[in-house]
């Protein structure tokens, strides 16, 4: 299955049969005080710097999240989108819990964005699916609903199926629904990663959709996050993860290595290119 995203000119194909697509996570105020303070001053230099360094490190798509307490993201999200698209041609993943901010950003954006995210709650489906249809966007379908978060992989798959069904009914193409199985901190729950890995395996086998996840979520609260994230990333890709939201400056090496090991990088071209670009 192929999900196509677009920037101004550039097209990115997320393909269940192809190499992994990296969605850069770093435009996110979590743990980045400087992003908050510069945006509050109306200064976009740092956000553009973050975009550039992520693209250089291997990001194919950029997640854009500018939500923090006290900010009007209905204004700030579209403005950030405009500034990024003036300079860069990668497709964008619009990350906000606020449907009004998502709509304003869709209006400002050119190309075909990924909405992050729609979940199985009635309110979320009702607010966001018509927007995705109207603006021709793809969506991330998050495996939680009005009953909250389940730890049963089979139930997460049922929620994914519900979101896909409702999206298709709204007129969105099946392949434009990318599923997020939910990745959570393993420091809080020893089974968290196993539940996510099993959900990925089931979604890949039963539904065949593209799969994303916040790949750095699992290591919150632990030292040496890089090693943990890389270990989990490799296992998740083997099970069917195709487009992680991650820090490319830390994860691209593991992603390129895993693609090569899994026979998705003929003659190691991408692996060697990446190695050379880092010299
Ligand atoms: N699913 C979807 N969207 C999401 C998430 C998800 N968006 C937000 C979040 N989760 C993914 N984004 C981040 C961004 C930053 C970090 C974690 C998740 C983070 N970064 C570390 C830092 O900046 O210090 C670096 C981590 C590393 O060592 O690589 O903590 O789950 N759909």
Three-state SS at 178: strand
Q: Which two tokens stand for residue 202?
A: 């089931």
- For residue 70, pLDDT over 90 is answered with no
The residues near 226 (Cβ < 8 Å, ≥ 6 apart) are 250
CA of 207 to the centre of ligand 1 (A): 26
What CATH architecture is 2-278?
Answer: Alpha-Beta Barrel (3.20)
* Cβ proximity of 109 and 81 under 8 Å: yes
CA of 216 to the centre of ligand 1 (A): 5
Contact criterion met (CB below 8 Å) for 245 and 6: no
pLDDT per residue over 164-199, tens digit each?
999 999 999 999 999 999 999 999 999 999 999 999
Residues in Cβ contact with 249 at an 8 Å cutoff, skipping those fewer than 6 apart: 26, 53, 54, 57
Q: Is the pLDDT of residue 62 over 90?
A: yes
Q: pTM for the whole thing?
A: 0.98
Extents of the domains making up the chain: 2-278
For the Cβ of 216 lying below 6 angstroms from any atom of ligand 1, the answer is yes
Q: How high is the pLDDT of residue 184?
A: 96
Question: Does position 31 have pLDDT exceeding 90, yes or no?
Answer: no
Q: Output phi, psi for 65, to 5 deg.
A: -130, 115
Task: Average the pLDDT over 205-226 and give the result.
Answer: 97
pLDDT bucket at 80, cuts 50 / 70 / 90: very high
Pocket lining: 119 vs ligand 1, CB cutoff 6 Å: no
**Distance (Å, rounded) from C-alpha 61 to C-alpha 210?**
15
């Amino acid at each position: 299955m192929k999900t196509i995203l677009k920037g101004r000119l550039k097209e990115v194909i997320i393909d269940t049969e192809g190499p992994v697509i990296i969605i850069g996570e770093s435009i996110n105020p979590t743990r980045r005080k400087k992003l908050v303070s510069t945006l509050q001053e109306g200064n976009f230099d740092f956000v553009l710097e973050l975009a550039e360094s992520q693209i250089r490190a291997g990001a194919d798509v950029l997640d854009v999240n500018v939500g923090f307490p006290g900010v009007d993201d209905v204004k700030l999200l579209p403005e950030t989108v405009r500034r990024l698209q003036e300079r860069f041609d990668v497709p964008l993943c619009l990350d906000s819990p606020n449907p009004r901010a998502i709509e304003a950003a869709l209006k400002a954006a050119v190309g075909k964005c990924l909405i992050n995210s729609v979940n199985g709650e009635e309110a979320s489906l009702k607010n966001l699916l018509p927007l995705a249809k109207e603006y021709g966007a793809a969506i991330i379908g998050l495996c939680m609903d009005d009953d909250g978060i389940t730890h049963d992989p089979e139930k997460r798959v049922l929620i994914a199926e519900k979101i896909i069904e409702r999206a298709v009914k709204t007129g969105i193409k099946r392949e434009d629904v990318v599923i997020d199985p939910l990745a959570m901190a393993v420091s809080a729950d020893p089974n968290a990663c196993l539940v996510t890995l099993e959900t990925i395996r089931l979604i890949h086998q039963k539904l065949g959709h593209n799969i994303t996840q916040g790949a750095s979520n699992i290591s919150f609260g632990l030292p040496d996050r890089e090693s943990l994230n890389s270990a989990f990333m490799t296992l998740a890709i083997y099970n069917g993860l195709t487009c992680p939201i991650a820090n490319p400056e830390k994860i691209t090496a593991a992603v390129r290595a895993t693609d090569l090991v899994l026979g998705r990088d003929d003659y190691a071209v991408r692996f060697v290119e990446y190695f050379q670009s880092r010299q």
